[in-house]
Amino acid sequence: MLTERRCHGGVKARERQLLNPQRECELVLYIEKCARRDLPSIREMIQKFATTIVKLEVSHSSVTRFLHWHADELTIRWSPRTDCDRYQSDSPFKYKLYFDMLHPRMQEHEVEERNTYNVDERGFAVGVAKRGRRVFSKALLGPK
């Protein structure tokens, strides 16, 4: 029976890691920053972040190992569904009111329309977001 160490030529799993400790720390801080902004990450997002950092395709199992190695800082929890207030705030009347207030401000501050960006920066359609597993910072969640 081969051990993992012998199977991979005597190299420990920690030595085969794609991210060095400094980069891992940066990724943990970024995940915590997203969580502070109420944008908890999902596994696929962490996989994309890591792929961007190392410029190699990062596997699903690499994300699992990363989360295991940082279990003292990060945790996976079920996120709540989009709350009722957000769902109810999605109305044509409120959008019209928003833009009626926005355009005079843009003219006042001389902001060109081509320099405006998407209003919904959270990356989900209101009323469509579902409950799912998200990665949270343990420090932000506090004690149970």
**Do 73 and 11 have their domain in common?**
yes
Total domains present in the chain: 2
Q: Report yes or no on 34 lying in a domain.
A: yes
Residue 116's identity, in one-letter code, is: T
Task: Confirm if 106 and 113 have CB atoms less than 8 A apart.
Answer: yes
**10-residue mean pLDDT series, the chain (144 residues):** 54 67 92 86 91 91 93 87 57 81 89 72 49 82 70
> Residue 40: which CATH number?
1.10.10
Say if residues 49 and 19 touch (Cβ distance below 8 Å).
no
d(CA 58, CA 139) in angstroms, rounded, equals 26
Residue 108 lies in a domain: yes
Residue 124 lies in a domain: no
What domain range is 41 assigned to? 4-81+130-139
**Residue 9 and residue 20 in one domain:** yes
Task: Look at the pTM and tell me if it is higher than 0.85.
Answer: no
